[in-house]
Structure 1
């Protein structure tokens, strides 16, 4: 009964003036919350314990330098309980969540000082923000108020009341991204050295059903230790031998599939299905299974085909980067190089791979930034590189590609634009139907059900990159290619003339210092 009362109060606070008092959301965003049905929100809670408080850790808070304190919501401190409401359970992480602290034995006056809502029995509920957010908002608000007062004084007008302005500056709008919690936080006891998650989904009347996580296991301690010490190749049961991917006198279509997941709690069956479906589409389009490298979740073991193909855990960031760089670096190795990205993302486009050490913080070895991805693809020697991005916040990657002069053969196809979220599996389901003879740009612009729910985007570093099939065959040929011609001349692998390969070796030797 107490938990139901707390969750009801949290939902009511989002629909009342409490939302606007925080200067945390715009008026339009508060209006959207007021119209959101309770049944569309999924509820999470940690139950209070008499002898121990809890603290909140989010992966995208602080500097992310790798220490536990960097990701901890230090401004929040310790509390009796934590609630979380997910208004977009079908959206990919990250997306904004509403997280609340519950503190017991707090007087009404102290609760009001905290901008909280006083509940029954001396309970206080406050909205949780990321670390240092409150100070940033206060500094920005104070500065704006002083500027308004100075302008009004020069014009002989009365200074405006701090709440009179309805429009925030661009900088204040950007602060919202710094404040919002975009991932389900790790809530741990202050005395718990093992950092066990205490925030769990709860089935409560009136709220949406809880999602079912995909049953997976974390990497063994030996693999974790080796990965953190950059010694993955010796520790993985079946090391990825990138050098065997590129063969003499042969060029092939290659692909890398990355689905991080971050933690077991937010890795769902649809993520495994996305990998399976995209893998199946690649095989249908002639990609050989040995040229498709998949990095999935914590243990990485899922059945991809009729046979069990080795799938590497997403913990192996160094292996991922080395393989992408190697395929790009070797001349004539890759004809079409496809990357499929389906991981949780921060609002700057950084992908979260897997919380290997379970500290709740996205350490440098557990995240793959936009800058790192572009560095690995810089000057890629593949004939064409296709990025299929089915994850939130693709805008940072799209913008960098649009203005880059070192990625002329890279094309991006995303399920969303700018700071939008990716929803469900609609994007991957759509591309699952791509046939070997279909032109990419024609297929993209087909009117399909998924485009009514999302706002897909396309970036071509060089115009016309998508005017081919996935394996590089030209579009609109007359007469069209037969299936046998496609398989022989474009799909999978093709043999290179000896003279061309010899010329390639000469180029490589001349480029060496």
Structure 2
């Protein structure tokens, strides 16, 4: 008798070893496969390959889709190119602005292949997304011959195939036809550099960096079916932040599109810069992308960094925090909390305070979002379709455009996310970012904790020297860091008193009228 399992939890409770042993078999087979084959199929650095070869099951977090409810599709945030949702194989595209609720999943995700189940192994559960994870498709009732044709692992009752992205084109790899494979081998034999050509093809495959949205083929609600497996042999499942209803005052409620909803007060960016005054400002950005990868540590990081800023004189009105979606638990210690769903609000705020003369002295950005391997930050999946469209991602180019020619005395980027090297490379030698310093010499896990102990009289470069990881900074960056966070000089003689620090450097300072008008563009003066 074939028992249909409604979910992994029910399986574990009702029939014990049925689903448990099956998932355990998948996991052990998949782990062995990735140890032996992963680095031959995707272009991972040598250090990552070495790490994978020594993996133990107890260090891997396991995710499996709920079974027994039909075929499923696995959708990654970068499954499709920007703009239209397009499939290379289907030959047509779908306009993402169209009404998604009226379309089936086959129409919404053209070219995605359906499978009976999805298995995902996360070998780095303590690291920020994105980082390399391993995704397998599971198909039932497949013959051994067909499984071999799919490059799969035949387990008697199931066929396990590894999913990869082909040539970094944001598509889950689909099996090539036999004629395509034979033509490719023939070209490689005929080429005088056949071996090199094969190596280039191999290095073109890209690893997967995020948990996919796994939805039923006929599920119009697009419910996430990928669940973490709590098992004594596997690593412990991370604990996502609980969802809650936004607690917004009634005065902030308004009618939107004929439905009664409560909204937080809009960010009044134009009130951030006052006449004859310069202040220290900060923007804290922690996207999260979706509930399943927004953890308690992300909220804790914001609390630590926010409190450090307040201890160093930053006024609460000048620290803007953009965190997750509307339903996540707010960080109580912070004020000025907004959802990370509002990309234009984030960009407009940064651009505005950067371009206002004398508005900002020290501008601090703390970045703690899931990141693609090109440095692009994922903000939040507003429409719950699993795909990061233009409004849901913040690229390195967009961030640098917002900071270009910033009129702040110094712009300090504290990065606690993956692939900060992409941002670092773009900053090197840029003449539009001479006052921008990227502080990414620390392991991402410890960034907020490391800077939490910074006190108002401490020089940034002195605190940075305490890091166990040496920082490689140029002379220009070292000069910008030879001050306190509020811009006070280091090691002055005699030393500045606490009262002098607060009056002359911390928070906000009033500017003399002559200084205010001295550097203002003539066009601004004439308008007044």
| Fold shared by both chains (TM-score > 0.5) | yes
Match of 2:480 in 1: 465
CA shift, 1:427, in A, is: 1.4
Match of 1:157 in 2: none
Q: Within 1, Cα distance between the matches of 2:511 and 2:403?
A: 23
Q: CA offsets, 1:368-413, max 9 Å, x none?
A: 1111111111111111111111111011111111121111111110
- Residues 74-93 of structure 1: pairs in structure 2 closer than 5 A: 77-93=113-129
Q: Within 1, Cα distance between the matches of 2:181 and 2:472?
A: 34
Given the two structures, how large is their TM-score scaled by the length of structure 2?
0.81
Q: How many residues align?
A: 474
Q: Within 2, Cα distance between the matches of 1:363 and 1:460?
A: 38
- Residues 80-159 of structure 1: pairs in structure 2 closer than 5 A: 80-121=116-157, 123-130=158-165, 132=171, 134=173, 146=187, 149-151=190-192
Contact 2:363-2:410 within 8 A present in 1 as well? yes
Match of 2:501 in 1: 486
CA shift, 1:14, in A, is: 2.0
Match of 1:3 in 2: 23
Contact 1:413-1:459 within 8 A present in 2 as well? no
Structure 1 pair 343–21 and aligned structure 2 pair: CA distance change class (3 A): closer
Structure 1 pair 137–490 and aligned structure 2 pair: CA distance change class (3 A): farther
Match of 1:59 in 2: 77
Question: Does 2:330 align with 1:302?
Answer: yes
Q: CA offsets, 1:249-285, max 9 Å, x none?
A: 1111011100000001100000001001000000010
Q: CA offsets, 1:55-111, max 9 Å, x none?
A: 010002231326486898866500000000000000000001001000001111111
User: For structure 1, which runs of at least 5 residues remain unmatched after alignment?
Assistant: 153-159, 417-421
Displaced runs of 4 or more, over 6 A: 68-75, 135-145
Q: CA offsets, 1:456-494, max 9 Å, x none?
A: 665676551111111111223222222222111111111
For 1:375, what is the secondary structure of its paired residue?
helix
For 2:31, what is the secondary structure of its paired residue?
helix
- Of 185, 208, 218 in structure 2, the residue corresponding to residue 191 of structure 1 is 218
**CA RMSD, Structure 1 to Structure 2 (Å):** 3.3
Structure 1 pair 226–393 and aligned structure 2 pair: CA distance change class (3 A): farther
Contact 2:415-2:444 within 8 A present in 1 as well? no
Match of 1:156 in 2: none
- Residues 355-504 of structure 1: pairs in structure 2 closer than 5 A: 355-415=381-441, 423-424=444-445, 426-448=446-468, 451=469, 458=473, 464-504=479-519
For 1:15, what is the secondary structure of its paired residue?
helix
Q: Within 2, Cα distance between the matches of 1:142 and 1:100?
A: 27
For 2:365, what is the secondary structure of its paired residue?
strand
Q: Within 1, Cα distance between the matches of 2:511 and 2:46?
A: 62
Match of 2:296 in 1: 269
Structure 1 pair 172–105 and aligned structure 2 pair: CA distance change class (3 A): closer
User: For structure 2, which runs of at least 5 residues remain unmatched after alignment?
Assistant: 1-20, 88-92, 97-107
Contact 2:410-2:435 within 8 A present in 1 as well? yes
Q: Within 2, Cα distance between the matches of 1:271 and 1:187?
A: 24
Match of 1:207 in 2: 234
Q: CA offsets, 1:408-462, max 9 Å, x none?
A: 111110156xxxxx643x11100001111111112112144xx4xxx76656765
Given the two structures, how large is their TM-score scaled by the length of structure 1?
0.84
Structure 1 pair 496–21 and aligned structure 2 pair: CA distance change class (3 A): closer
Structure 1 pair 327–187 and aligned structure 2 pair: CA distance change class (3 A): same
Q: Within 1, Cα distance between the matches of 2:40 and 2:513?
A: 72
